[in-house]
């Protein structure tokens, strides 16, 4: 029982250590917009709409 | 001819310095035209993060125009984000959603989790 408690963390550490050389260059972009509160999203959509209209040279 | 061009450029620079708008704005119309042409020809596309991307190829002028418009957009997203209390990234994604609706069929779109697709 005590042995297992010791071995498991050691295994975990070993597994992590095995991964260290891996460098993830590209992180998947997350859709933050979809996670926003509904009220915030409505407000944001309004702001976005006017921003698009006010900047015809960019959109 | 060159002297004339230089004079015009100097005048434009002077005007730009006087104007409150950033210097990039003086070029914006030309950049926008180049980007629109690129979108129509399939060289430039809209991305789900709210920025323009080069689909493939694209000459130096097109790439410069894309970079310029993207810089302007980044500023707008920052501003919009501040107004709504969200991150600039969220503002960009929200804008992309509306830009997708305005994208003409056949033009390119890049979702967050994938490559270029034709609308």
**What per-residue confidence (pLDDT) applies to A17?**
53
Tokens 């033009």 correspond to what residue? B107
Q: Do B84 and A30 touch (CB under 8 A)?
A: no
**What per-residue confidence (pLDDT) applies to B33?**
97
What are the angstrom distances between the C-alpha of B55 and each of A1, A58, B33, B38, B95?
A: 59, 18, 17, 9, 20
* Predicted confidence band of residue B2 (pLDDT cuts 50, 70, 90): very low
**What per-residue confidence (pLDDT) applies to A26?**
59
Q: Is the pLDDT of residue B34 over 80?
A: yes
Q: Is the dihedral of CA B16, B17, B18, B20 positive or negative?
A: positive
List strands edge to edge, sheet with B117-118: B52-54, B44-47, B108-110, B117-118
Q: Is the pLDDT of residue B7 over 80?
A: no
Among B49, B80, B84, most A C-beta atoms within 10 A, so best to mutate, is B84
Chain B interface includes A45 (CB < 8 A): yes
Q: Is the pLDDT of residue A15 over 70?
A: no
Q: Is the pLDDT of residue B69 over 90?
A: yes
Q: Do B90 and A43 touch (CB under 8 A)?
A: no
Tell me how long chain B is.
119
* Predicted confidence band of residue A30 (pLDDT cuts 50, 70, 90): confident
In terms of pLDDT, which residue wins out, B28 or B25? B28
- Rounded CA-CA distance B63/B76 in Å is 20
Mean pLDDT over each residue of chain B, to the nearest integer:
85
Chain A interface includes B44 (CB < 8 A): no
Provide the shortest C-alpha distance from residue B32 to chain A (in Å). 6
């Amino acid at each position: 029982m005590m042995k297992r408690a010791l071995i498991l963390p050691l295994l975990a550490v070993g597994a992590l250590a095995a991964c260290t050389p891996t460098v993830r260059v590209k992180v998947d972009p997350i859709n933050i917009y979809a996670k926003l509160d509904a009220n915030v999203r409505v407000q944001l959509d309004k702001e976005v709409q006017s921003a698009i209209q006010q900047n015809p040279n960019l959109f | 001819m060159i002297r004339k061009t230089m004079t015009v450029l100097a005048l434009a620079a002077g005007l730009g310095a006087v104007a409150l708008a950033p210097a990039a704005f003086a070029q914006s119309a030309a950049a926008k035209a180049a980007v629109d042409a690129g979108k129509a020809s399939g060289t430039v596309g809209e991305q789900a993060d709210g920025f323009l991307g080069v689909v493939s190829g694209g000459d130096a002028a097109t790439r410069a125009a894309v970079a310029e418009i993207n810089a302007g957009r980044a500023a707008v997203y920052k501003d919009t984000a501040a107004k709504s209390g969200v991150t600039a990234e969220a503002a960009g994604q929200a804008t992309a959603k509306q830009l997708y609706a305005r994208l003409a069929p056949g033009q390119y779109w890049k979702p967050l989790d994938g490559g270029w697709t034709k609308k």
